[in-house]
A and B are shown apart, each in its own frame.
Chain A
Amino acid sequence: MALNLIRKLMISSLFCFTAASASAETFVFTAIPDEDETKLVERFKGVADYLSSELDVEVRYIPVKSYAAAVSAFRNNQVQLAWFGGLSGVQARRLVPGSEAIAQGVEDQAFETYFIANTSTGIKPADELSSLEDELRGKTFTFGSKGSTSGRLMPEFYIRDVFGAQPEDFFSRVGFSGNHTRTLRLVEAGTYEVGALNFQVWEKELADGNIDTDAVQVIWTTPAYPDYQWTIRGDVNERFGDGFKQRVTEALLNLDDQKLLESFPRSDFIPASNDDYEPIRKTAEEIGILD
């Protein structure tokens, strides 16, 4: 009797799932979790409200826990638009034929990674990474997320290129902090002696007075490379009507709410194309992150 009841309940609960999965057309977007979540949620809720008023459809932002989750959600068509990093954008566009990079920040054309060190190491800033070889060897080092462009791909590329060694062999301990803010906090606290992070995160935290400059400083800056961009799926017009992609693109390029732009922080959004990110693809293939 009891078993029967439980079985019936389970079956009815399965029906509930199927019912829940059919919902109205909502334009959903996500972003790679590269910074503290509170900041991201605040920023992208603002973007969702803005897009919603510009596009006349319901727009929803969903926070995710990893770069790969953002790529998978985009690939699985559970989100149709995403604010990707250079590498995650390349991964996503490879997996979703027809998808396009439509907008980037002005700063993303020439993005940089800062190598930072805890001041207790005594490492002095340098113009050439090669001149830091002896000081850096055997230190503890943290990247950001495993899938990050500025926090993993580019720093790993330069470590291999300049020191001719895998990061695990060159440093005594290599970690992945998870995001740029974490990298900053871990190196500031001395948990790791050296780290690499997105220069924009550093500059913004510095301007906001959130960095103890007696404890941590920038020791090297990478050459410039292209980074973040808005990428949209190729099939949005079929789902949301003709010209939808164009309207999203225009809405993003016309975004001039200074507070919202500052939260990224970007001075403006400008057009982007898939080809802009070829250098990232080549670098990722070179160090074996992409097949």
Chain B
Amino acid sequence: MGAPKQQLSHKQYIFYIYKTQIGIGVLVLPNTLSKMAGNSGWISLLLGWMIATAAGYFIIQVMKRHPGRTFAEVLQDVLGKWIGRAVMTAWIAYAAIAVGVVLFMEVIIIQVWILRNMEQLLLIAAIMIPVFMITRNRLQVQGRYVEFVYLYTLWMPPLLFFSLKDSHVLNLLPIAGDGLLPILYGIKPTLIPFLGFETAYMLYPHLQDKTKAFRGLLIANSLALIIFMTVVVTSTMYFSSEELRTFIWPTMQLLKTITLPFIERFEIVFLSYYIILVTQTLCAYLFFTANGIKDLFGLQDHAKLILPLLVLLLAAAAILKPTLEGMEATNAWYDIVSIGMGYAFPLLFWGLWQARKLGERVLR
């Protein structure tokens, strides 16, 4: 197959992962985190960041030794042809479901906050238009789009500081007041928003500068950590951890505090604009799916797969008619699946790869 032609610069790679991580997760994080870890959630977040970075390290470690090979090929190299293909299929399914989960969740949030009476399928179809247009392009163009997303959403995080004027630092105390255990339990909800770095499996063969792959991943993770930390700390300070448990989307509640002289209910504008960020998450997983299928079956081009995939997704939406309750139930098991795919798999795969290498050395 040769080296893939699609190239991604270092900067684009960082933004790609970083903006894939910023998605629906940020909106719910303070809520899920405070349910587990109370007001010490920020410590769990730090631990979660370490774990995510470690998982990313294992990803790069394996991919580094197979330069020019796609993820599907590496899987087959290490696990054998058939198991490798089966695992790849699992990954494709994982990414495809991720697209669905994120998309449906986004649409539900839009319906709750902005367009109460809008037909759900219409919204889904509308959001699919930019997703389709972006994802069918070469990775190079997707990289440009990510740069745009990064730059044109820079103004959004600082808005969180608007809430600071009414917040109380005391809400953060006592640090680790309930002991160590809640903090450790709190790690689990922090792992979900960090997901997105696993796209590195797919991106690695397309990187211009492969030597800096891990450093880029680390930077992306850290950028995401800054955002998550800001969200968690400001919302804890503003609401207190008791109150946080009652809001499903505390980040949105936080934005309600913004009042400008010429605009009220600023969170409507904010959330509308936020679609740009979520779209990147959608695009990344959709590209993962399409490109995965392409590599698995040795097809020429991923672009032709995008439309059928989206049609399938639309059909799924028409049949399932996602609701908030339904999505929460789905998320409950899908979170576990994604932790398995995003965190357990890299470690396991790296272990297998090491074992295989050792075995080969012994045999020789």
Q: Do A and B bind each other?
A: no
Binding site for A on B (CB under 8 A): none
